[in-house]
Each structure stands twice: as structure tokens, then as C-alpha cells.
Structure 1
Amino acid sequence: MGRRSDHSRDELRELILVAGEQLIAETGYADFSAREVAKRVGYTIGTIHNVFGNVDGLVTQINTRTFTAWADALDAALAEAGEDRIEALVLAYFRFAADNLNRWAALYDHRPGDDTYTPEDEAPRARLLGIVTDEVARTLDRPVDEAVATLARSLVATVHGHASFALTGSWAAMGQTDVEAAALARVRESLAAAAG
């Protein structure tokens, strides 16, 4: 029997999120189980549905926390960056993905319905993209506008593709080395073309 009155709703939400984060970090999204999360916290799966609406709601909230941690990691890298802030961002992307592989992959493996996201879920995603967009604008010495934002999204996709290939072993299988340098070179080429 679950401990139905042991925790307030906020405490229960945090307890479930922490257990869910740990489970995704251990198993990845493909093997994620809300039943296992419920078991770990000593409540029923019905409690998870009560608090998060459904499993998509729970995973979305876990992913929101991952986006927050990722944005924090980018901010920390920029705080310590020297002159080359773009390099700091690219390397921080790879470091976060490698250090949090299953959590990072779950961001892309989980595909909830459009109505699953709330403004609170969108804020960390927007913050992450905003960090990159601001640095792209700074590098180009331009204000943030739609063209700069579109370029920033494309650069994130470029780095993501390189990181994905690296972390799945595809990059090495193609006989390539130094994936971070290759990603950084593609980013620099794109920025140079945009500046020209």
C-alpha cells in the first residue's frame, strides 16, 4: 500500500521527479517505466498520474529539469570562458551530453503531444536557445533578430548532429577523429559566412 498521506503534493512531485531523473539517467528513455518510479518512491502509478496527468507529463517535467541543468552548464562555461565564447559553448554542449548521456538523449527520444508543454516547460528551452542566440549575435556584432535566431537554431542542430554521431559511435565508425574540432569548424564557417 502506498504512503498516501506521507507527503504534501509539492513534496510528492519533487520525490517523483528526483526518482524519475535517476531512472532516466540509469536506463535511458527507452527503458523508462513510470511503474518503476512509483515503486522507488513507494506510491502507486495512480499517484504519478494524479500529480503529472500521465507518463508524458512526468517525462516532460524531467526533461524540463534537464534543459534547466543544461542551460546552467552553458552559463557556467561562458562565465569561465576567455575570448572564444563560441568554442566554450560548443565544448560545453559536448561535455553536458557526454556527462548526462541518457538524460540528454531523452530530450530527443521523448515526443509528447503539443498540449503537453506548459509555459513553465518552455522557459528553460527558450533560455537555452537564448544563450546561444545572444552569443551568435555578439559574435556577429548584430542585434538579435529572426535571422540571428534562425542561424543560432541551425548551429545548435549542427553541433547536435556531431555530438549525436560521436556519442553513438557513428563518428568513429566513419574513421573520423576529433569530433569537437569538426563541429567547431562548421560553426565557425557558418558564422564567417553570416558575417560576410
Structure 2
Amino acid sequence: MAGKREEKRDDLRQRLLDATEARIVAQGLTGLRAREIAQDAGCALGAIYTVFADLDDLILHVGARTLQRLGQALSSAVAEKSDPEGVLQALAAAYLDFALTHRKAWEALFDHNPPEIPDWLREQQGVLIAEIIRPLQALLPDADEKLIRARARTMFAAVHGVIDLSLEGRFASVGEADLRRELQALVGTLVRGAQA
């Protein structure tokens, strides 16, 4: 009996995740409503709260799916590369490609601002930094782990910031036509700076 109940709960969980993800892909976070998600998932509104703590929790779990796909895209981009700068260039290009291809999901990952980020998600967010660490270790063989992690976060923030500002068309944005070239120049500058 308990197995059947867990099966139903897992099915409901997947339907809610799928419905929420579909709405985010279609419209972003704007106007995301629990009632509409429940309707799309074919369940009662209250059923959401038997599986997720609240709408924020549901959105965080959808974000975890996006992070997993992003991590796979980044890993695939560098699978055949060993040159540290080549790896970092490939990561920046793959990150841009992911942002362009999965724009609403990517935006939701960073625009959703829940009251608290749970530890399990913080751990998964490590995918954004993990691939940067290896080439930085090769570029900075004498640096300690704390410095490498700080530089990896800074490099991620720089690349993300350029992409985010540019795709939003905000202050100091780079036009989409020039974005790939400018990212390549940025990463090259960061690599040279790290080596200096």
C-alpha cells in the first residue's frame, strides 16, 4: 500500500515539475500562479502543498532541473579539451549558448529570489563554478584552493554579468551580434591576468 502511495506522490511531483517548467519556458516567472500550475498538472490546488512546501519550493526544484541541464552542457563543451584557456573559452561559449537556447529557464534560475536557498540547492549551484576550477588550477598551479575558488567565482560572475546585461539590453550591454566575440576577449583578458 505504501509503495502505491509513494508512486502516486512521485507521479504528482513529476506532473507539477513538468507543468511549472512548461509555464516558465513559455512565460518566465512573470505571472506564475499555483492555481494554473495545478490545473496544468491535473490536480487540486492543495495537492501542490502535499509535495512541495510552497510555490517557491516548487520553483527551486525546477531550477535544480535547469542547473542539471546546464551542468551537462558545460561538461559536454569541455569533454575533449585540455588547454586551460581553450577550456575556459569553451565554457563561456557553452554558457552563452545555454542562455540563448533556454532563455526563460536560465533567467528564472537567477531571477527567482526565495526567502532562503536550501543547502541541497546551494550544493547543486556548484556546477556553475566546478568546471572553471580545473583550468584555473592549471593556470595557477601554486595558488591555494581558496584563491582558485574566488577566481572561479569572479570569472563566472564576469561572464554571467556580460551575458545577463546584454540579453536584457541594460546599461553597458553588448549587442547580441558582438557578444560571442566580446566574451572571447573577456576570457582571454582574464586568463592573461591570472597568469601575470
TM-score range with shorter-chain normalisation? 0.7 to 0.9
Q: Structure 1 residues 122 and 182 mapped into 2: Cα distance closer, same or farther (>3 Å)?
A: same
Name the amino acid aligned to 2:31. D
Q: Secondary structure at the match of 2:79?
A: helix
1:99 paired residue number? 101
Give the letter for the 1:156 counterpart: F
Cα distance, 1:190 vs structure 2: 2.1
Do the aligned partners of 2:166 and 2:175 also contact (CA within 8 Å) in 1? no
Q: 2-side partners of 1:51 and 1:137: how far apart?
A: 41
**Which residue does 2:147 correspond to in 1?**
147
Residues 1:176 and 1:88: Cα distance change in structure 2 (over 3 Å): closer
Mapping of 1:44-193 within 5 angstroms?
A: 44-81=44-81, 83=83, 84-114=86-116, 116-119=117-120, 121-142=121-142, 145-170=145-170, 177-193=177-193
Quick one: which amino acid aligns to residue 152 of structure 1? A
Cα RMSD (Å) of the superposition?
2.4
Deviation at 1:78, TM superposition (A): 0.8
Taking the aligned partners of 2:48 and 2:181, their CA distance within structure 1 comes to 43
The number of equivalent residue pairs is 190
1:194 Cα offset (Å): 2.0
Deviation at 1:170, TM superposition (A): 4.0
- Letter paired with 1:110: H
1:26-73, Cα deviation, whole Å (9 max, x unpaired): 010122222211010111221112211100100010111111110110
- Tell me how far 1:144 sits from its aligned partner: 6.1
Structure 1 position 23, deviation (Å): 0.9
Partner Cα separation in structure 2 for residue 82 and residue 137 of structure 1: 12
SS at match of 1:178: helix
SS at match of 1:31: coil
Q: Please list every run of 5 or more consecutive structure 2 residues that lacks an aligned counterpart in the other structure.
A: none
TM-score (norm 2): 0.86
Find the counterpart in structure 1 of residue 8 from structure 2: 8
* 1:24-39 alignment runs, 5 A limit: 24-39=24-39
TM normalised by structure 1 equals: 0.86
Percentage of identical aligned residues: 29
Matching residue's letter, 1:11 = D
Distance verdict in 2 for CA 1:146–1:89, change over 3 Å: same
Counterpart contact for 2:48–2:54, Cα < 8 Å: yes
| Cα offsets for 1:106-132 (capped at 9, x unmatched) | 011111122x5142x233211331112
8 Å contact from structure 2 (residues 139, 194) kept in 1: no
Q: Structure 1 residues 142 and 30, CA, compared in 2 at 3 Å: closer, same or farther?
A: farther
Structure-2 change in CA distance of 1:124 and 1:155 (3 Å): same
Residue 71 to residue 142, structure 1, CA distance change in 2 (3 Å): farther
One-letter amino acid of the counterpart of residue 52, structure 1: F
Change over 3 Å in CA distance of 1:162–1:36 after alignment to 2: same
CA–CA separation in structure 1 for the residues paired with 2:142 and 2:181: 25
